[in-house]
Structure 1
Amino acid sequence: MKSRPALLITLSFCFIISIAAHGQSIQWMPLPGVFGGGVFDFAESPDGNLYAATSRGIFLSANGGESWTTVNPDLILSYSEIEVNPNGDLFTSSFVLLRSTDGGLSWQELNNGIPANRYTIRINGSRIFAFGGIDYLYRSTDNGDSWTQLTTGLTVPSFEDMAFNSNGDIFLGGVRGTIFKSIDNGDTWTTVYADTNLSNTVMTLTIDENDRLFAGTWRDGLLRSTDNGATWHYVNNGLTAAGINALTHLSNGALLVSCRFDGGGVFYSDNQGDNWQPWTSGLADSVVFNLKTISGNTVLAGCADGGVFRLQMGQNAWQPGNDGLAATFISKLIHQPDGKLFAIGADGIFSSSDFGETWHQHLDGLTERDIQALAFTPSGQIFAGSDGAIFVSPDSGRTWQNATGNFPDHDVNAQDLAVTSNGQIFVATDEYGVARSTDGGQSWQMRNNGIQDSDVDLLAVNGNDMLFASDGFNVYRSADFGENWTIVNNGLTDTDAEVFGIAADNTLYAGSYSDGLFRSANNGDLWELVLDRDISFLAPGAGPELYAASYSQGVFYSADNGLTWVGANDGLPGLQMEALALDNQQHLFTITRSGALYRADLATGIEPGEGEDLFLSRTFQLRQNYPNPFNPETLIEFHLPTASHVRLTVFNTLGQVVKVLVDQTRQAGPHQVRWNATDQNDRSVASGPYFYRLESSGKAISKSMLLLR
């Protein structure tokens, strides 16, 4: 799927979608979810509650990290920091600095004297420090209401961590392997360490109860100072991995460090860092972003993909603590013929054998975690495609081996996979087009005769071993196992297909972002539009049933091969979907924008329905823009109950008008507008939060959105 030019388009839906006389009423039920994901930071409040900053928002634990709940389901951005002040107020950052005084239920942007940026936050009593990008070090003495920039004595442009000793001295680590010290609350700074390796960075700082300082570096291991920063020495004996991510110390003086490179993992020292030994038993994810000691001798590890693990001193192994932590990014749900359900995405591979009730993460052997495709061979192997490699599993996904074979530099962006009935494996890549393997992934041969672009992002195979591919400009068909490809665009008004779906009778479907869902009953010779909605996910049934989902318009169901449609969103919290799958037991699964997993039991969900105009809105509505955050453009949808004059305006955080998107009379029903992040003079606007407001017939609705360039 090629990137689309930034443009402003107003769309009115031209299709009337009606429910058949006997429709299907689908009721969605929430499931516990696919738990885990990226956990970047922890904080403990005065009342003992724990907070975790994750790749999908802020989570709360009231039982020491054993289980979690989201503090605000609308807070779904990636947050790298979470800090708590002595009053229990929360501070976090995701390109803007935020504060919550009610346990995370609501958040206020802090911008008085401090620009928008992703900040690291450290708190010492009534003083709050925020630092991050170029020349950014700020201090607040009024709980974040106002900020002062601190620069005196600082000789490097970027900082990573800060620590405070018992005397009130402050230590600040940054790029070029530099550590600074301040004895006046940050007003002035002196350099106490400067690494000879200018490419090094001090990533983390901690100070134990005896004021021993430890500094973890990006390249060279761990530094220690026992004289308040006057002298420093490396203490790496036993550390077999580099790239220190995090440090924490226990009440008995022991230390734990986590490493990024050379296998990563966690190491333990009981002699102030003189010697180290691995402490990884039970730790499923070797990349640990953060370590946090709670209750003296319990340590939490926040992992890159595996979520949270807990270790109590006296125990020999880490235990997962992911119950309720739905911080994973799932891009696809895929049903295996034997009944197992797989979920793949940026956090690896997960599987469920009980219809989505519980999940197991499979990372063993995956050197690349961003999984984009999964395919099953007749012999029982599973192939996985990632942004960097192809993997094969001989044991239902429990372990994985590299199957990139003879691709140049053993590197390939495997965007999609398909397997024929005789076990030939096809991969769609962004650089080499389509490649085929006939020996189980040991070697690959390019098969691009007739394909016009080397960036192929979709593959599918039907029951007759006919292959279909898309490069964003054309849809192709091959009837000879990829030897030759023919363009089959006749009837397609949008050839940039987002998804293929193949029904049991080999009817072919192609979903597009702009023009809707197309159907072909003759292997692509001729296409017809069957649903005028942006369709990104398809799940064909065993008969004429077809399920479709959209990033912004919910789930749809057709009982007659796409002739008529019904919305299928009862029980869902919104209309923004991120995955869809149907298993062979008549369970339909979807994942919402917030990462929540839902299941519908289709075996008991069929009821008679009355014919009606499905999308005629009877209320004045403004929906959340999608995508959000966005770059370079976003879609805004609104509904009008009657024909009326409507005004849709974008504002900045100062309340100034940025652009008027609509100012005219519109008919009743749904409407869509795209904003390409430009102002009224078509000049690009800066990254940051914006607001959009819909006004009509004396009513007004406002929502917020975030532009990230």
Structure 2
Amino acid sequence: NRMWRNIELDQVPQEFNWDGVTWGWNTVDQLEQPVGIKYSAMTFSKVPGEHRLYFAASDYANATASPKIYRLDNANSTPVPNAVDISISDITGFAWIHDIAVNPNNSDELIVVATNYNIIGLYHSTDAGATWTAIEGNLADGPTLGDGKGPSLRSAVILPVGNTTRYLVGTSAGLYSTLYLNGSSTVWNQEAADVVGNVVVESMTSRTADNYVAIGTHGRGVFVGTAKAVVGVKQIDGLPTDYTLSQNYPNPFNPSTKIRYSVPLASNVSLKIYNSNGEEVAEVLNKYLPAGTFEADWNGTNQSGIKVASGVYFYTLRAGDFVQTKKMVMLK
């Protein structure tokens, strides 16, 4: 129930000491919690110069007390400023705040992961915790949202990749991700099901330099991978009523072209490029997407990132029972 701070880490002596080092560590008295309340999660902004800290605490002595979430701005200041209470009012009764994830490029965006039975356990904020939106979506996995029949939620990561943002959630039944947050209608897709499987994903970390992701599991060790950008895919406002695949533009093209398509229902969607021999050249997209209109860029490269030869190519959209193919021409 006590928080410690060190703003002199660059001055800590480098010699080895079995007893550890106490240099520079001081308690932050105004953040000390009453007996029975324990800190459960903590994270900080990686945006240079912000010094923003998010943390959470739960009351183990009171089964009806809701968890508390705080934001501490200018956490490097002396004296330490007061923390702002940004608790989620929709979480009533005891819950364990298992993780807090912050966008490394935007400290106003964060995800909170809460764990307990019969609660909605996943919330998103884009205004530093002033307001919250439930984003558990299909992870609730029951006839009604939050009925407790879905997997328990353990960890989260917000990872900017290219011109998109990938949201990852570790659960008691594997790793899930999405590119589009849509409140209670958010669609989460299982990642690496053939490698990670349905194992408990207890913790996660990532880095933006190379989109590297590492997950810590219960009983199966650590898995690592690289998050790939969905090349130039963006969602267009408005909900369509029909499946459509538009002609690419420009056409002919060099070096890249845009392909717009619409799906009126959430479904598995694939967009693939083929050469004139019917051989698959590139897979632009293969994901479960929410209903919407999307636009994808193809940069004229194959799966290995090598520029393809000039000529005639075909692109095929598959979504549900809908299949359509159109022709395009690449010039050199």
Report the TM-score, using the length of structure 2 for normalisation: 0.48
Larger Rg: 1
